[in-house]
Amino acid sequence: MLDRLVDKLLGLPRAEGPRPVVTRDLAAPMPDGVTLLADRYAPAGTTSAPVVLIRTPYGRKGLLSKLFGDTFARHGLQTVVQSTRGSFGSGGEFRPFHLEREDGVATAEWLRAQPWCDGTVAMAGGSYLGHTQWAVGPYLDPPLAAMCLGVTASEFVSTFYPGGVLAADNMVSWSAMIGRQEERFAALPNPVQKRKTRRAMAHLPLGGADVAAIGKPVQFLQDITTHFVPDDDYWVMSDHSAEVAKLDVPVSMVTGWYDLFIRGQLRDFRILAEAGKQPRITIGPWAHGEPASMGPMIRDQLGFLRAHLLGDRAQLQRSPVRLFLQGANSWLDFESWPPPSTPTAAHLRPIGGLGEAAEQALPTTFTYDPADPTPAVGGPLLTGDTKQRDNQEVEARPDVLVFTGEPLPADLDVIGEVAATVHVRTELGHADVYVRLCDVDPDGVSRNVTDGILRLRPGFPAADPDGVVTAEVDLDPTAYRFRRGHRLRVQVAGGGFPRFARNHGTGEPVTSAVDGKPNRFEVFHDATRPSRITLPVFSRP
């Protein structure tokens, strides 16, 4: 009955036949002598068959094993779930993103040597489980039979440091989670621990947020704060983006508009498509790890794997791009990403206006104070209040500039890449420029749609003779319908805390910075320096 309920909740057809045979704690030797443990889920009667490999740091029991190992096997796919190095019984030290290539390739070769594997190996999973796929897929020979990449990307560095700013909320929350995940009862809801972790995001220096959150250091947070400097090559072992175009493996992707990896995953998709690899992607209205996303991801991955491992090709008959148009509550199919659109500029105007053309005006000013950092609400977060939220309280602050358009005479569909150009002069050379696009309904409620940030430092970007720099800010891609009668709104601020670490204005390392200085901003929006946001406006053929 539980299996039937799981299939129903995931939107899967009812699995027939006996229960899978589970073999626990299979030992896979690594080249350096460390042994990693794995569980094998085999359809009853399996002798030699393809294997779906799932490599995870989150353990081999509970929901993950039920959703992937058990569900996949009940639907005909032999599956091996392995604990990555240093986690849940596997030997060695757990250092996220270290040695995943070496361990993953060695594991795939070990699988192919097992009598119950026919030599065909595919991989599946999401988030860090997607990273472990990218650490294997470009390097294995012969190649994987398929890769199923949920909410992930070929490189994580741009997600650690979006726009050159440490993603404090996500990094502290993930560090706190992995730092205590093997403790007793760690998987159960813990409101007290949740509050401690959120308070720790404001801890100064940020390098001590791990101890503030869970009472002990977490190596990952130490790594992520220590190596937060321009051009640091520490994370090169985690970056597989240079191999994307050369990947010769069938790929299916699933992500969400409020997923923290959305920008990187769409970049991977586009590179694969332009290289003629024929990937496919589904983009829904989800945040990272949201329960509503699990059914679509499992269905997509199961169908794709059955097509490439069992010859059930029915799931391949679909468009390469399937996306959810927010605000319209509908799904659209396209042949490519991004779909054809018309780049349309909305200029920041004096006295808080937003329109097609720039107007002559003096710059608008505000002061960012790291002692009272400008907050951000909602967005692509691992924990807390994610996705769309009411921004009115934030917009009432004096350190947030708000530019609002007129009520729309007709629905406006924005589908694709969004970018902003902000001409700005700051009192200090070290500053962040944060831009957020919002949808304001007829009642005046302002809800975030997408945003982005860019860290400025002396000499980057280069300033003109007046000390004004041109900040080119990439916002996350989106697909959103602004309804007739709604208004577009653009926020400009000096940060969005705690999602992004505060800018102290001093250039001190984030791992040790404690003191900060208020920073005065001047935003220019005249015909000579036209600050603007550029929207990909979609029109149906």
540 falls in which pLDDT band (50, 70, 90)?
Answer: confident
pLDDT tens-digit readout, 300-330:
999 999 999 999 888 788 999 999 999 999 9
pLDDT tens-digit readout, 254-268:
999 999 999 999 999
**3-state class of 482 per DSSP?**
strand
If you ran DSSP here, which 8-state letter would residue 151 be given? S
Q: Which residue in 148, 479, 146, 482 sits closest to 337, CA to CA?
A: 479
pLDDT at residue 335 in the model: 96
The Cα–Cα gap between 1 and 213 comes to 40
Side chain identity at residue 331, one-letter code: W
Contact of 377 with 498, CB cutoff 8 Å: no
- Dihedrals φ, ψ of 57, to 5°? -90, 5
Helix axes 291-310, 2-10, angle to 10 degrees: 100
> What is the average pLDDT across 331-337?
97
Least reliable range by pLDDT among 9-18, 30-39, 141-150, 209-218: 9-18
Q: Tokens 């058990």 map to which residue?
A: 70
pLDDT at residue 373 in the model: 98
pLDDT at residue 30 in the model: 98
Residues 6+ apart with CB under 8 A from 5: none
Strand segments (E) across 152-304 = 251-258, 280-287
Contact of 344 with 528, CB cutoff 8 Å: no
If you ran DSSP here, which 8-state letter would residue 253 be given? E
pLDDT tens-digit readout, 457-509:
999 999 999 999 999 999 999 999 999 999 999 999 999 999 999 999 999 99
| Token pair of 336 as six digits | 């490519």
The Cα–Cα gap between 450 and 478 comes to 7
Burial bucket for residue 189 (CB in 10 Å: 0-12, 13-18, 19+): exposed
The Cα–Cα gap between 203 and 223 comes to 17
Instruction: For residue 159, count other CB atoms closer than 10 A to its CB.
Output: 20
40 falls in which pLDDT band (50, 70, 90)?
Answer: very high
Does residue 345 register a pLDDT over 90?
yes
Residues 6+ apart with CB under 8 A from 434: 374, 376, 451, 452, 453, 473, 491, 492, 493, 494, 495, 496, 500
pLDDT at residue 290 in the model: 93
Bridge partners, 402 (sequence order):
491
- Dihedrals φ, ψ of 536, to 5°? -85, 95
Query: What is the dihedral sign for C-alpha 294, 296, 299, 305?
Result: negative
The Cα–Cα gap between 331 and 323 comes to 6
Share of the chain above pLDDT 70, in %: 100
Contact of 452 with 473, CB cutoff 8 Å: yes
Q: Which residue in 359, 368, 338 sits closest to 453, CA to CA?
A: 368
pLDDT at residue 63 in the model: 84
* Percentages of the chain per state (helix, strand, coil), in multiples of 5: 25, 30, 40
Contact of 333 with 321, CB cutoff 8 Å: yes
Contact of 422 with 435, CB cutoff 8 Å: yes
| Token pair of 404 as six digits | 């609002």
Does residue 135 register a pLDDT over 90?
yes
Residues 6+ apart with CB under 8 A from 476: 257, 262, 263, 380, 418, 450, 451, 452
Burial bucket for residue 213 (CB in 10 Å: 0-12, 13-18, 19+): buried
92 falls in which pLDDT band (50, 70, 90)?
Answer: very high
Q: Number of C-alpha atoms within 13 angstroms, CB side, residue 77?
A: 33
Does residue 228 register a pLDDT over 90?
no
Q: What is the mean pLDDT of the chain?
A: 95
The Cα–Cα gap between 400 and 393 comes to 10
The Cα–Cα gap between 198 and 209 comes to 10
**3-state class of 221 per DSSP?**
helix
Does residue 541 register a pLDDT over 80?
no
Contact of 503 with 495, CB cutoff 8 Å: yes
pLDDT tens-digit readout, 368-405:
999 999 999 999 999 999 999 999 999 999 999 999 99
pLDDT at residue 153 in the model: 98
The Cα–Cα gap between 488 and 511 comes to 37
Distance, CA of 301 to chain centre: 18
